Amino acid sequence: MKKYIVWALAALLMVPVSCNKGNQDNPMDEPATKDLAQVITFKTAAMVGVRNIQSIEFTEASRYIVTYTVTKAESENHVIFGNYTYTNGTFNLDGFGHVTINGSEVTITTATTGGSPVTATATITPTTTSDTPHDNLCRNWKVGKIIIGLSGGSFGAAGIEKVFNNGIKMDQICTWLDDNNISISEENRETLLKYSVEEVCVTGAGSIAISFNVADAFLGHYQLNNSNISFGFDSSDIPFITSGQFSGTVSFEGTNCLVIAQASMVHNEKTYKATFEMTLTEAK
Amino acid sequence: MKKAITFIAALAVSLMGMTARAQEDTQIANHLAAGITIGLDGVGLEVALPMTPYVQFRTGYSFFPYVYSGHVNLGKIEAGGASRDLTHTPLKATLWHGGAGKFLADIFPGRNTSFHFTVGAYIGPGKLFHASADLSGALDPSDYATMAVTYGEGANKISISTDPKGFVNADVKVGVVRPYVGIGFGRAVKPDNFVRVTFDMGVVITGGFKVQSYSYLRNPKGDPSVLTSAALIDDEGHQIDGGWIDKICGFPIMPMMKLNVFFRLF
- % of chain B beyond a pLDDT of 70: 88
The whole-chain average pLDDT of chain B stands at 87
Show which of A83, A110, A128 is a domain's final residue. A128
Q: Give the range among A2-11, A168-177, B127-136, B211-220 with minimum mean pLDDT.
A: A2-11
> What residues of A are in contact with residue B222 (Cβ under 8 Å)?
none
Q: Give the range among A82-91, A250-259, B32-41, B76-85 with minimum mean pLDDT.
A: B76-85
Question: How high is the pLDDT of residue B65?
Answer: 92
Q: What are phi and psi of A174, to 5 degrees?
A: -65, -40
Nearest chain A residue (CA) to B161: A161
**DSSP 3-state assignment of A181?**
coil
Nearest-Cα distance to chain B for A178, in Å, is 7
How far apart, in whole angstroms, are the C-alpha atoms of residue B17 and residue A148?
84
Question: How high is the pLDDT of residue B23?
Answer: 47
For residues A194 and A260, state if they share a domain.
Answer: yes
pLDDT mean over B215-220: 94
Question: How high is the pLDDT of residue A243?
Answer: 54
pLDDT at position B17 over 50: no
Whether residue A23 is contained in a domain is answered as: no
**Residue A163 is nearest to which of B81, B150, B217, comparing CB atoms?**
B217
Helix (H) or strand (E) holding B89: strand B89-97
Q: Which of residues 131-190 of A touch B (CB under 8 A)?
A: 147, 149, 151, 156-163, 165, 175, 178-180
Show which of A128, A148, A169 is a domain's final residue. A128
- Whether B60 and B54 have beta carbons less than 8 Å apart is answered as no
Question: How high is the pLDDT of residue B233?
Answer: 79
Nearest chain A residue (CA) to B145: A163
Nearest-Cα distance to chain A for B170, in Å, is 18
Show which of A98, A128, A158 is a domain's final residue. A128
Q: What are phi and psi of A157, to 5 degrees?
A: -80, -5
Q: Averaging pLDDT over each range in A221-235, B78-92, B172-186, which range is the top one?
A: B172-186
Question: How high is the pLDDT of residue A18?
Answer: 44
For residues A88 and A141, state if they share a domain.
Answer: no
Question: How high is the pLDDT of residue A242?
Answer: 53
Whether residue A11 is contained in a domain is answered as: no
pLDDT mean over B233-251: 84
pLDDT at position B37 over 80: yes
For residues A119 and A241, state if they share a domain.
Answer: no
Question: How high is the pLDDT of residue B81?
Answer: 66
Question: How high is the pLDDT of residue B14?
Answer: 43
How far apart, in whole angstroms, are the C-alpha atoms of residue A102 and residue A90?
10
Q: What CATH number corresponds to the domain at position A100? A: 2.40.128.20
Pairing of strands B42-52, B55-63: antiparallel
Question: How high is the pLDDT of residue B50?
Answer: 92
For residues A146 and A116, state if they share a domain.
Answer: no
- Whether B225 and B158 have beta carbons less than 8 Å apart is answered as yes
- Whether A211 and A95 have beta carbons less than 8 Å apart is answered as no
pLDDT mean over B49-76: 93
How far apart, in whole angstroms, are the C-alpha atoms of residue A75 and residue A79?
13
Question: How high is the pLDDT of residue A22?
Answer: 39
How far apart, in whole angstroms, are the C-alpha atoms of residue A112 and residue A110?
5
Residue A39 belongs to domain spanning: 34-128
For residues A179 and A278, state if they share a domain.
Answer: yes
Is there a contact between B234 and A162 if contact means CB atoms under 8 Å apart? no
How many domains, chain A?
A: 2
Is there a contact between A158 and B149 if contact means CB atoms under 8 Å apart? yes
Q: Which residues of chain A have pLDDT under 70?
A: 1-27, 112-115, 235-244
How far apart, in whole angstroms, are the C-alpha atoms of residue A258 and residue A277?
7
Is there a contact between A156 and B235 if contact means CB atoms under 8 Å apart? yes
Q: What CATH number corresponds to the domain at position A265? A: 2.40.128
- Distance set, CA A1 to CA A10, A11, A12, B47, B135 (Å): 14, 15, 17, 48, 68
Question: How high is the pLDDT of residue B25?
Answer: 61
Is there a contact between B235 and A157 if contact means CB atoms under 8 Å apart? yes
For residues A113 and A241, state if they share a domain.
Answer: no
For residues A105 and A217, state if they share a domain.
Answer: no
- Whether A141 and A281 have beta carbons less than 8 Å apart is answered as yes
For residues A79 and A205, state if they share a domain.
Answer: no
Whether residue A73 is contained in a domain is answered as: yes
For residues A255 and A178, state if they share a domain.
Answer: yes
Whether residue A265 is contained in a domain is answered as: yes
Top residue of B84, B150, B238, B240 to mutate, by most chain A CBs within 10 Å, is: B150
Q: What are the extents of the domains in chain B? A: 29-264
For residues A51 and A83, state if they share a domain.
Answer: yes
How far apart, in whole angstroms, are the C-alpha atoms of residue A149 and residue A165?
14
For residues A124 and A146, state if they share a domain.
Answer: no
3-state helix, strand, coil in chain A (%, to 5): 20, 50, 30
pLDDT mean over B134-138: 91
Question: How high is the pLDDT of residue B232?
Answer: 82
pLDDT mean over B31-47: 95
Whether residue A26 is contained in a domain is answered as: no
For residues A165 and A243, state if they share a domain.
Answer: yes
- % of chain B beyond a pLDDT of 90: 66
ipTM of predicted complex? 0.75
Architecture of domain B29-264: Beta Barrel (2.40)
